Structure 1
Amino acid sequence: MSDAELTVTVTGPVATVTIHNPARRNAMTAAMWRQLPVLLDGLAADPAVRALVLTGAGGTFCAGADLGDLDELLDAGDASIAVTAEERLAGFAKPTVAAIEGACVGGGCQLAVACDLRIAAEGARFGVPPARLGLVYPAPTTRRLARLVGPATAKYLLFTGELIDAERALRVGLVDELLPVDRLAERVDAITAVVAARSQLTVAAAKEIVDDRADDARIDWWHRQVRESGEAREGVAAANERRPPRFGWAPPGRP
């Protein structure tokens, strides 16, 4: 393993992408930002993968972007490799969970917010530091943060650049669940197992609609999938027979 890279492991229906850059508290290098969309494309195409976990190695989620690549990021603006990677993560068709320990700052917070769910360990710290550096936070990133935590909290994080603890992150909606460190992995395994066992038709449609990526035609297409797939009939039959459902729908791609 190199000193700075993303690694992928797949256990059953769950893929885990781990941020690994121990010398820089798992800061994302330019190579790592470029690597992430490639990994996501491969996992999106794998029908066996039903959920994705993003985490950091060694008790730290991600301390941000490696500012050794600052000129490249400044020149690109909102077309930067960091924003491209974030958008690919946000648009990943399958459920995503950020499992967070330690620092989740800057680019790390950017990646966590792009996930569907964020489960954190006690002692985690969160922050958005561009005001400390004279940077303009990317517009897609800023809007995503504001949708998640509300305009006032987003402004507080952006205006001050201060870190907040995990308890406050939970209160403001930046984090969905907060657990002792020794229970984090167990809880992430449990929630991804539940999601992977649910109807993937329901999950995929819900993700698109909640994220406001489904127009009227696409919503009609989802309802047609329900009628044609037999997924709902199987779900109702399983409930009546008091057995686990045998859902079999797989995404055929966009119409």
Structure 2
Amino acid sequence: MNWDWTVIWQNLPKLMDGALLTLELVFFSGLIGVLLAIPLALLRVSGNIWVRALPYAYIFFFRGTPLLIQIFLVYYGASQFEWVKESSLWPILREPYWCAVITFGLHTAAYIAELLRGAIQSIPRGEIEAAKALGMSYPKMLRRITLPRAFGIMMPSYGNEVILMLKGSALASTITLLDLTGMARTVIARTYTPLEIFLAAGVMYLMISALIIFIFRLLERYFNRHQHWPNEKPKGLDSQLLSKD
């Protein structure tokens, strides 16, 4: 078997363009997912069963149906309704790029919401009671205690979800988007070198995954920085006092 390595270098700019589009899809869909997941998770931990019903149905649908079907429902299904075509949303929903971003965002929101719900419920009860004892309002307690602690707990699993979303973004090529996978298939159709191009695309996916893992390691350390305090050496006046003792 003869490998034509030159075809990779010749088409590397095109593959880089596809990789950039893949990063955009993952970033914007992840942003939408987090913004939707926070209220969904808070509703899921409500003590009222009727309040929990709607987010549960949403999460059940998006976790229980294939991502490919969800993409087709948004991209092809929206055009079946006249009121959608006549609405102000049609300039967005007729574009495959935004259909992919919206679908990926709705899809990943369901998974992030469940991760966040589990993290909220695993926060030690004493921390919540201490916040209430200090007189914190519910919004302030969410901002200062609940959400930061929950994000610290869920960050490793959240990183895995982003990587899964990265791999799922390859389905964007099914609606004419030239992401990394779509661009690789286009190049293969012209050069007839599937092994070389798919190998190059796989290496690019690995590099993006490594970048995501690194970013989430930093985020995990940031949200859990309180756990590293005992191991840090005191500085300034405190260190001088301790040295005198």
**Does TM, normalized by the shorter one, top 0.5?**
no
Task: Tell which has more relative contact order, 1 or 2 (C-alpha 8 A, sep 6+).
Answer: 2
Which has the larger share of strand? 1
Name the larger-Rg structure. Answer: 2
Q: TM-score, normalised by structure 2?
A: 0.27
Structure with the higher fraction of residues in helix conformation: 2
